[in-house]
Chains A and B, each alone.
Chain A
């Protein structure tokens, strides 16, 4: 539901990169979306396509889905909690630290042409 706002922020960041590098066009935007980020990839793709404009009018959105990776800070056991989302350690019962899977990050952009 908030994917429209998220898509608008992604496009702002991408267009600002084009401007900062003196390029006229963004052809691709790569984002990392954690499985626990609360963002629905399909909704984001739809919103991105509907909103893209200006230097990013033809930009393609590349989404990298990041599964949850967690680690027990006590016994250092790393695990992928998967769909069960048990975020305490099966070995010692402590709370797991989530290392990956909460990302909502613009990773890179592909820029085209030099502005005249």
Chain B
């Protein structure tokens, strides 16, 4: 005899439970956590290399790096004087459990701000809550103006969208207004910054926004 049973369970419930644990763990230690997501090659590591020194003495920072192979990114972060923990996974995204393991490796003098550089992928990382406080989508303008509509989830969930490689705009054939319009269509409330992490153009606005949001988080707002 067959019987239909109502379940109504979120598929990623287990990840969500780990994410909730992470959130409590971060809150108990006063750590603000920023999850940076993008396609491969959009410039996440370069953005961090440039952003971290601009934080100056404001906060003690740490970085969790996610990649399929190598610890090249963690080395790049350490070379600007910031602690980094590399996660290597054959997964196409980081999940909350991986982040839990990595966060626990920062033992002495915990970071006050923890950046998570997710696996380069414009799709899967958007589905996994890591227990972070801020989600940032980094997008290089050369990827094309239509991508926010084609891959809406990540843009939609983000507090901030950073459009990188602005110095390549003249060579990209991308109309920045069309790209900005598409970002606005899928996420009218995101803070949006157009920058070149390589040249430093526009980075101050992004850093000011980030410091402001971290201050608000620390103040419990």
**Could you list which residues of chain A lie within 8 angstroms of chain B, going by C-beta atoms?**
1-2, 5-6, 9-10, 12-14, 17, 21, 23, 27-28, 31, 36-39, 84-88, 94-95, 98, 102, 104-114
Chain A residues with Cβ below 8 Å from B13 are 9, 13
Q: Which residue of B has the minimal Cβ distance to A103?
A: B10
Which of chain A's residues have a CB closer than 8 A to the CB of B186?
Answer: 85, 87
Q: Which of A12, A31, A105 has the most CB of B within 10 A?
A: A105
Kindly report which residue of chain B lies nearest to residue A87, judged by CB atoms.
B186
Q: Is residue B28 within 8 Å, beta carbon to beta carbon, of the partner chain?
A: no
Docked complex: B72-114 residues within 8 A CB-CB of A: 91-93, 95
Q: Please, how many residues of chain B have a CB less than 8 angstroms from a CB on the other chain?
A: 36
Which B126-164 residues sit within 8 Å CB-CB of chain A? 126-128, 149, 151-154, 156
**Can you spell out 16 A-B residue pairs with CB atoms less than 8 angstroms apart?**
A2-B93, A2-B128, A6-B12, A6-B127, A9-B13, A10-B11, A37-B127, A38-B151, A87-B185, A87-B186, A94-B188, A104-B10, A106-B9, A106-B11, A108-B7, A109-B5
Chain A residue nearest to B92 (CB atoms) is: A1
